[in-house]
């Protein structure tokens, strides 16, 4: 899906379930269509220095933004998807890179 076809990405909330948490989002298009997407994170992935409950909504939001940028008719975003350890690693790396860039800018 081209990014401009999504007029709003809205975080609906977190819904704890047995063994995992669901992070629900609504993708609202300019033509008023609303699509719900649920990203799940297994409870086992929440660990100190790995992923905190406070970081999870942003991780899911960033993952969904990335998925929206590359979505196509041939490769649509699924209504339900699991966040993986690889997704968490990518999120960590992107945050560290952003922090390093901010630090360099301030001290340049």
Identify which of 62, 68, 78 has the alpha carbon closest to the alpha carbon of residue 3. 68
Provide, rounded to the nearest whole percent, the portion of the chain with pLDDT above 70.
83
Residue 7 CA: distances (Å) to CA of 2, 4, 15, 32: 11, 7, 24, 9
pLDDT per residue, tens digit, the chain (108 aa), is 444 556 799 999 999 999 999 999 999 988 888 999 999 999 999 998 889 999 999 999 999 999 999 999 899 999 999 999 999 999 999 887 666 666 566 655
Coil, strand or helix: which one is 72?
Answer: coil
pTM, 2 dp: 0.82
Q: Indicate the angle between helix axes 85-106 and 56-70, nearest 10 degrees.
A: 100
Q: What is the CA radius of gyration of the chain?
A: 15
């Amino acid at each position: 899906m081209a990014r401009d076809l999504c007029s709003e990405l809205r975080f609906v909330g977190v819904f704890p379930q047995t063994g995992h948490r669901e992070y629900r989002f609504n993708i609202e298009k300019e033509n008023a269509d609303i699509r719900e997407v649920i990203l799940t994170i297994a409870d086992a992935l929440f660990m100190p220095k790995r992923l905190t409950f406070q970081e999870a909504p942003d991780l899911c939001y960033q993952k969904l933004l990335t998925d929206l940028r590359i979505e196509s008719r041939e490769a649509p975003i699924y209504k339900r998807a699991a966040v993986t350890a690889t997704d968490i690693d990518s999120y960590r790396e992107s945050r560290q890179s952003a922090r390093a860039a901010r630090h360099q800018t301030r001290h340049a």
